[in-house]
Amino acid sequence: MPRRPTAFVSFFVLIGILTLLPLFRPPAYFLSFLFKVLLFVILAESWNLIGGFTGYLSFGHVAFFGIGTYTAAMLFQQFGISPFVGAIPGGLVACVAAWVIGYPCLRLRGPYFAVVTLCFAFIMDLTVKNLAFLGGSEGIHLKLMQMEIQTSRSIFYEIFLFLALVTVLLARHVERSKFGMGLASIREDEDVAQTLCIHTAGLKLRAFTLSAFFPGVAGGIYAYYISYIHPDIVFDINMSILIVLMALFGGGGSWMGPLVGAAFLSVLNEFLSMFIKPEIARIIYGTMFMAVIIFMPDGVVAYAKKGRRSPSEAIGYGQGISGDVSV
Amino acid sequence: MLNAVVILQSIVSGLLMGGMFALLGVGFSLTWGVMKVINIAHAAFGILAAYIAYWALTLYKVDPVLSLVLSTPLLFATGLVIYRLLIQPITRAKDVVVASMILTFGLAIVIENFMLLVWSPDERLITTSYSSQAIFIGDIIIKVSSLIGFILSLLGIAAIYFFLHHTHTGKAVRATWQEPEGAALQGINLQRVSMITFALAIASAGAGGVTMAYMYSFNPPAHNLWLIFLFLVVILGGVGSVLGSAAAGLIIGLIIGLCGAFFPQQWINVLLFALLMVILLIKPQGLFRT
């Protein structure tokens, strides 16, 4: 738990406010908006387990989200299992997929791993589009929840709030555990880590499999939320890229980075889209992201904590965070 | 029915397509090899050039080949500016490859949305007066537009090869690729060489984009898909190798052509991407490592 009591108190106050929010009956739009923010928090924070902590950039994170969505949707359609329950097997199937992909592919480093995961996301998208029993390129329609929209939105919101909380706390726990130290050693220098008898292959595989669980579960619940599932929506490669950008915007390698990045960028996106065309909003967004990578290579959170470092120091993602790893 | 003509036809059209992959991929391979910069926005520049050609054709009736005369120097200049503004600041990073990849993902988003804003997300197709014409050699049909695209690709690759092997600057680029520190000791200005390489790569992406537009319809988000093809070319051909990229492009075209004869159309990309994964796992250093 946080060392400073003020941080501890403000954390619980924030969670309390967010939990009790639906009681004040905010507009359904507002709940949907928060739902989306929380979705990105879950995705970016779970991506952080592999992408941030070990430095293995996975561009296929959306594939696990899609796998979860389709698993829960199929369980609902074929066997009538509620997606709230079906989300768990959704997460487990995503884990299995991550293990199968990760086992051979985690041997590849740097750009090669990024390409393989990008390929994986594309393959999943195209395969689902081509398989008739998964709805093909027509998608699947699910039965709507038989409830008033305000209530159903509140339920979805509460579930995602809980899931986001679990993901963030888990990432925080991992960062401070022996497991997290091992992952950090892979990020800093994998070869040295190996010579120090750290079983890097096993650690990477564990991190990758764990990171797939949460998008899988979130996907299952998302299936019920949107009730119409199409490969273009749930296997959207842009979403995969967005997850990476959000996490690195805040700063990969620490639990707080993706949380700040996902929350800030999705709020900004929504806010900008209200006033200007979404394309211009995304141009601003992309420009901002490039500025962050050039001037604050460790993300905004590390920048805010440490202040500006001289540009001659190693610029690059994941550098210089080692001092932050606390035991 | 599968017979010799069908197979020959698929080989020919596959090879024509492969030339385009080669030209599109060669610049990507160069920046990766020489500067250790993976330019994710490479394909986006290709599509940008395709749009410029499309505009020139529909608004001013300028043939795409002629509009290349305009768009190539334009993209070269853009490349110089982008190198100064974006790439140079990150060349000091410890892991330039990964840092550049992340940075250019941002750049790709900016370019894609700029194109969406100007040209809308509709699919575009370049239709020239000779689009519907074809040459018959025996039973084999060769579309004139594909042939022009192929010839353009060959010329482009030949030009890049000539530049790298027979000009002073080109030799400096190759020296930098082989041994950056040694090259610097010989008085080669690494920043200048990198800047030229980057601008050249962007210009070649533009030419590649126009040849692509001769054969395919295009829209702004398509660059994500093209990116996979770029990786396929580079990983097959070996990072930084011009002739390797040319060979890889042709091989990929051949595979696509032949797969088209044997498999349903919608599974071809799945097969190709699976092929890329397998190649990466078995031989990540490429098949034609120089």
DSSP-based helix, strand, coil % in chain B, nearest 5: 80, 5, 20
What was the pLDDT predicted at B188?
87
What was the pLDDT predicted at A317?
44
DSSP state of B34: I
Residue of B82, B85, B102 to mutate, interface with A, max A Cβ within 10 Å: B102
Determine the Cα–Cα distance for residues A217 and A159; give it in Å rounded to an integer.
11
pLDDT score of A314 more than 60: no
Higher-pLDDT residue of A144, B237: B237
Percent of chain A with pLDDT over 70: 92
What was the pLDDT predicted at B205?
92
Question: Taking CB atoms and an 8 Å cutoff, what residues of chain B touch A297?
Answer: 90, 93, 99
Question: Taking CB atoms and an 8 Å cutoff, what residues of chain B touch A237?
Answer: 224
Question: Taking CB atoms and an 8 Å cutoff, what residues of chain A touch B276?
Answer: 115-116, 119
Determine the Cα–Cα distance for residues A255 and A44; give it in Å rounded to an integer.
10
Check CB contact under 8 Å for A316 and B109: no
Dihedral sign (CA B20, B24, B27, B32):
negative
Q: Is the distance from CB of B191 to CB of B167 less than 8 angstroms?
A: no
What was the pLDDT predicted at B45?
93
Check CB contact under 8 Å for A126 and B273: yes
This model of the complex carries an ipTM of 0.84
What was the pLDDT predicted at B221?
84
pLDDT tens, residue by residue, A243-252: 998 998 888 8
Closest CA to B232 of B11, B59, B17, B3: B17
Check CB contact under 8 Å for A290 and B106: yes
Residue where the block lists tokens 């770029």: B230
Residue of B273, B275, B278, B283 to mutate, interface with A, max A Cβ within 10 Å: B273
Which residues of chain B have a pLDDT value below 70? 1-2, 284-290
Tokens of B165: 């092997």
Minimal-distance CA residue of chain B relative to A283: B110
Check CB contact under 8 Å for B93 and A314: yes
Taking any CB pair shorter than 8 Å as contact, residues of chain B touching chain A are 38, 86, 89-90, 92-99, 101-103, 105-110, 113-114, 116-117, 221, 224-225, 227-228, 231, 235, 266-267, 269-270, 273-274, 276-277, 280-281, 284
Q: What is the mean pLDDT of residues A211-221?
A: 93
Angle between helices A28-47 and A61-79 (to 10 degrees): 120
Residue A289 vs residues A251, A295, B226: alpha-carbon distances, Å? 11, 10, 23
Check CB contact under 8 Å for A119 and B228: yes
User: If pLDDT is split at 50, 70 and 90, which confidence band does A170 have?
Assistant: very high
pLDDT tens, residue by residue, B27-61: 999 898 888 889 999 999 999 999 998 888 888 88
What was the pLDDT predicted at A319?
41
pLDDT score of A45 more than 50: yes
What was the pLDDT predicted at A22?
79
Q: Give the minimum alpha-carbon distance from A200 to chain B in angstroms, rounded to a whole number.
A: 18
Tokens of A307: 């202040």
Q: Give the minimum alpha-carbon distance from A319 to chain B in angstroms, rounded to a whole number.
A: 8
Check CB contact under 8 Å for B101 and A129: no
What was the pLDDT predicted at A100?
92
What was the pLDDT predicted at B146?
84
Determine the Cα–Cα distance for residues A172 and B156; give it in Å rounded to an integer.
52
Question: Taking CB atoms and an 8 Å cutoff, what residues of chain A touch B263?
Answer: none
Domains identified in chain B and CATH numbers: 4-282 (1.10.3470)
Collapsed DSSP state (helix, strand, coil) of residue A93: helix
User: If pLDDT is split at 50, 70 and 90, which confidence band does A209 have?
Assistant: very high
Check CB contact under 8 Å for A293 and B106: yes
pLDDT score of A5 more than 80: no
DSSP state of B31: I
User: Could you tell me which residues come within 8 angstroms of residue A309 by beta carbon, excluding any fewer than 6 positions away?
Assistant: A320
By mean pLDDT, which of A6-20, A34-48, A234-248, A307-321 is the weakest? A307-321
Amino acid residing at A208: F
pLDDT tens, residue by residue, A74-127: 999 888 888 888 899 999 999 999 999 999 888 888 888 988 898 899 889 888
Q: Give the minimum alpha-carbon distance from B38 to chain A in angstroms, rounded to a whole number.
A: 8
Instruction: List, in sequence order, every residue forming a beta bridge with B137; answer none if it has no partner.
Output: B140
Collapsed DSSP state (helix, strand, coil) of residue B184: helix
Question: Taking CB atoms and an 8 Å cutoff, what residues of chain B touch A115?
Answer: 228, 231, 235, 276, 280
Q: Give the minimum alpha-carbon distance from A314 to chain B in angstroms, rounded to a whole number.
A: 5
Residue where the block lists tokens 């899988």: A216
Q: Is the distance from CB of B64 to CB of B53 less than 8 angstroms?
A: yes
Check CB contact under 8 Å for A315 and B266: no
Beta-sheet pairing, B140-143 with B134-137: antiparallel
Check CB contact under 8 Å for B113 and A279: yes
Other CB atoms closer than 10 Å to residue A23's CB: what's the count? 8
Query: What residue segments make up the domains of chain A, in order of their start?
Result: 27-237
pLDDT score of A210 more than 70: yes
Q: Is the distance from CB of A160 to CB of A301 less than 8 angstroms?
A: no
Amino acid residing at A224: Y
User: If pLDDT is split at 50, 70 and 90, which confidence band does A44 have?
Assistant: very high
Total beta-carbon pairs less than 8 A apart between chain A and chain B: 143
Residue of B95, B104, B107 to mutate, interface with A, max A Cβ within 10 Å: B95
What was the pLDDT predicted at A3?
60
Check CB contact under 8 Å for B92 and A287: no
Check CB contact under 8 Å for A316 and B117: no
pLDDT score of A326 more than 50: no
What was the pLDDT predicted at A315?
42
Q: Give the minimum alpha-carbon distance from B163 to chain A in angstroms, rounded to a whole number.
A: 28
Question: Taking CB atoms and an 8 Å cutoff, what residues of chain B touch A52?
Answer: none
DSSP-derived secondary structure for B105-165: HHHHHHHHHHHHHHH-S--B----TTTT-EEEETTEEEEHHHHHHHHHHHHHHHHHHHHHH
Determine the Cα–Cα distance for residues A8 and A19; give it in Å rounded to an integer.
17
Tokens of A238: 């842009």
Other CB atoms closer than 10 Å to residue B132's CB: what's the count? 10
What was the pLDDT predicted at B287?
64
pTM recorded for the entire structure: 0.86
What was the pLDDT predicted at B289?
55
Q: Is the distance from CB of A94 to CB of A216 less than 8 angstroms?
A: yes
